[in-house]
Each structure stands twice: as structure tokens, then as C-alpha cells.
């Protein structure tokens, strides 16, 4: 029994926020952002859109492309670091909004590596014979982290002046705020008796000694109470990223895990047709590509359009790569990513 990805789907909000829009509310500009990240624009959710709202249309498209009905899904996995509320997890809300029956619904918290970890779970569930069709969704709304008050100026609905305090607060968090976008990607994983396609191998790692390199310090049982108004004022509700150290680690570990998964399957880089990396920063992906010696035609990036959508980046990129004809039947694809935890890993998938 092999697990195959039967269908893919994606959803991003309507609101496009380019780098010039960010320059209306903080000290930044298009060149500064592109040089450091490769990002030109991102999508941000409306104030009434939660992560579960991102997940539903992406999931429905994946079902449609798989030729399956909602009633065919017997397990749901949602990867998100931005749940609708503190608890319960957001998977039950996706279940309700999508109209799924009373199937098991699981939230996982591996952040940028969420899709890769989710695939491992889906693969195990399907190959064990316990479940037939697993729906895996990565969905994020990062807008709630942002310190912005003048959303109307950011969205181009007003041109009023930003007061100095707000301008300085936004600017103090710009290194992170410029990175993130909102959206969702989804896949349906099903079992087939086929040796020629499907998931060939999965290799995952975690190193908790580096967990604080990417984290949101506010909230949780570390604090009494869990949340306090001061957390909003001092910026601890905004994700913290030790950018230089994360860059150094990512450009070492991501090529390493790609080579390792190929070696243990008696394959080489020449056997790969496409590498789809987590879209955290284009400069990281370019460095990984260079270290692996891969030509441009074997790497797919779309971070310039969407920014970092955390657990959604890989399924969104895979969906777009398929729609653009960049991957096709018979191709060997490697998914690879690294995120907070630290969690990282790679997947070999035969189209």
C-alpha cells in the first residue's frame, strides 16, 4: 500500500498588501524588503477571517480535484500555529464549516514544518489500513500578530497620518511583520496498491535545544495569567525570530536532510525533478539551492507573491507547481522545510 496525494487546493485572502503599502505605516521600502527576503507582496485576512475560514475553501478545492465528496474523508489533520482561539484546536471548526461527519480531527503544532509532519501522520494512518482518505490542511492567519492599528491606511482605505508612537512600534517589529502572509493549502492523502507512485520516504527531526530561536513568548502556562495587556504593549505577542542564526541553521540542515533521504533510498540529486521548500525567505531557499547545486528548473518558489504562510507554504507551492505544469506524472519531488521547535525534515514523493 502506498499513500498518494489525490488532490490539492489553496486559498489566499483577497487583500493584497505589497511592500509599498507597508511603507505607509512603518519605516521601510520595497527595495529594503526585497533585498532581505525576496517578498514583493503578501495576502492578509479580513478582521472576520480566522484560520479555519482559510482552511475550508482550500480543503474543498482539494476534494474537488480528488473527485471525492466531503463524506469520503474519514480523518482530518490541521497544521496551524495561529488557531482560531486558545482552545479547543481549530480542526473541529474546520470540520463544522466544511460539513465533515464525526470523524477524528487533529491539530498539530510544528509551525513551518507542519505540512511535512502532517504528511507523515496521514501516510501512517492510510498505510495502516485504519483510514482511507485523510484531509491535511495547513492554514494560517498571521494578521492577528501584527501590532498595526491603522489597518485602513495599510489597506489603502484612508491616507490619514500615522502618529509617531504607532510608527515606531510598527517599525520595531518590521523584521518579522514583513515576512508573514495569510492563506491555506490542502491535500487529500489516500491509499493505493501501486509501487510506481506515492510517498517513498519521510525523514523528520526535532531539536528542542533551539526552540526559542523562533517563538511567540506571550501566553501559555509560563505566565500568570496566561495573557496580560502588557504583552501587547511590549511586543511579546509578536513572533520572535533570531534571523541570522535561523538562516545559518536552515542553510545547513535543509540541504543535509535532502542528501540524507536521497542516500538512504539509493538516489542522487540527479534523480530529483523538483524540490519544493518551505517559503520562509527567498534568500534561504537560494542558499539551499546553491549548496545542493540545483538548476532553477528544479526548484519552485512563490514567496514573492504570498510571503511566509507557515504551515501553508509547501501545499500552496505544490498546488501552484502542478497547475503551472512544473511537476507532472512520473516526477520525483522532494518537499523540505524547517520551522520553530526546531522541527525539520524532507519527503520523497513519486508523482
- Cα–Cα distance, 197 to 317 (Å, whole number): 20
The pLDDT of residue 199 is 96
* Counts for the chain of helices (H) and strands (E), in that order: 13, 14
The pLDDT of residue 195 is 75
Phi-psi domain of 195 (left: phi exceeds 0; alpha: psi -120 through 50; beta: other): alpha
The pLDDT of residue 11 is 98
Angstrom distances, CA of residue 260 to CA of 268, 284, 334, 337 = 10, 19, 12, 14
* pTM of the full structure: 0.95
Q: Is the bond leading into 146 cis (omega within 30 degrees of zero)?
A: no
Residues in the chain: 351
Closest CA to 273 of 213, 208, 322, 345: 322
Closest CA to 124 of 99, 147, 106, 142: 106
- Cα–Cα distance, 321 to 265 (Å, whole number): 24
User: Could you state, in chain order, the average pLDDT of each consecutive group of 10 residues for the chain (351 residues)?
Assistant: 95 98 97 97 97 98 98 98 94 98 96 97 96 97 93 95 94 93 98 89 96 88 88 85 91 98 97 98 97 98 98 98 96 96 97 94
Element (H, E) at 191: strand 183-192
End-to-end CA distance of the chain, in Å?
15
Phi-psi domain of 7 (left: phi exceeds 0; alpha: psi -120 through 50; beta: other): beta
Q: Which domains does the chain have, with CATH numbers?
A: 2-192 (3.40.47.10), 198-350 (3.40.47.10)
Backbone φ and ψ of 232, nearest 5°: -70, -40
Residue 1, helix vs strand vs coil: coil
The pLDDT of residue 17 is 97
Closest CA to 135 of 229, 202, 223, 68: 68
Catalogue the active-site residues: 112, 278, 308
Can you read off the three cell numbers belonging to residue 150?
491603522
The pLDDT of residue 108 is 97
Amino acid at each position: 500500500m502506498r499513500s498518494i496525494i489525490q488532490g490539492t487546493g489553496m486559498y489566499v485572502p483577497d487583500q493584497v498588501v505589497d511592500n509599498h503599502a507597508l511603507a505607509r505605516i512603518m519605516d521601510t521600502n520595497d527595495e529594503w524588503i526585497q533585498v532581505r527576503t525576496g517578498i514583493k507582496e503578501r495576502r492578509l485576512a479580513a478582521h472576520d477571517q480566522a484560520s479555519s475560514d482559510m482552511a475550508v475553501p482550500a480543503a474543498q478545492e482539494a476534494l474537488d480535484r480528488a473527485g471525492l465528496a466531503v463524506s469520503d474523508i474519514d480523518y482530518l489533520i490541521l497544521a496551524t500555529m495561529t488557531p482560531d482561539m486558545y482552545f479547543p484546536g481549530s480542526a473541529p471548526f474546520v470540520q463544522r464549516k466544511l460539513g465533515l461527519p464525526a470523524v477524528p480531527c487533529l491539530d498539530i503544532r510544528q509551525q513551518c514544518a507542519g505540512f511535512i509532519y502532517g504528511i507523515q501522520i496521514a501516510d501512517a494512518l492510510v498505510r495502516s489500513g485504519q483510514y482511507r482518505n485523510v484531509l491535511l490542511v495547513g492554514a494560517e492567519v498571521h494578521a492577528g500578530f501584527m501590532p498595526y492599528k491603522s489597518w485602513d491606511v495599510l489597506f489603502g482605505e484612508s491616507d490619514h497620518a500615522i502618529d509617531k508612537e504607532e510608527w515606531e512600534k510598527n517599525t520595531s517589529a518590521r523584521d518579522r511583520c514583513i515576512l508573514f502572509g495569510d492563506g491555506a493549502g490542502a491535500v487529500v492523502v489516500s491509499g493505493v496498491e501501486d509501487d510506481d507512485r506515492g510517498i517513498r520516504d519521510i525523514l523528520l527531526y526535532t531539536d528542542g535545544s533551539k526552540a526559542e530561536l523562533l517563538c511567540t513568548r506571550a501566553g501559555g502556562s509560563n505566565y500568570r495569567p496566561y495573557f496580560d495587556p502588557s504583552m501587547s504593549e511590549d511586543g511579546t505577542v509578536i513572533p520572535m525570530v533570531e534571523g541570522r542564526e535561523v538562516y545559518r541553521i536552515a542553510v545547513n540542515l535543509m540541504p543535509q536532510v535532502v542528501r540524507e533521504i536521497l542516500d538512504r533510498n539509493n538516489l542522487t540529486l540527479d534523480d530529483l525533478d523538483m524540490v519544493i521548500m518551505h517559503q520562509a525567505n527567498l534568500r534561504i531557499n537560494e542558499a539551499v539551492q546553491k549548496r545542493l547545486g540545483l538548476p532553477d528548473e528544479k526548484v519552485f518558489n512563490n514567496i514573492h507573491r504570498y510571503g511566509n504562510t507557515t504551515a501553508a507554504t509547501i501545499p500552496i507551492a505544490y498546488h501552484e507547481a502542478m497547475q503551472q505544469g512544473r511537476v507532472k506524472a512520473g516526477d520525483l519531488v522532494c518537499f523540505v522545510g524547517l520551522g520553530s521547535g526546531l522541527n525539520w525534515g524532507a519527503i520523497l514523493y513519486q508523482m
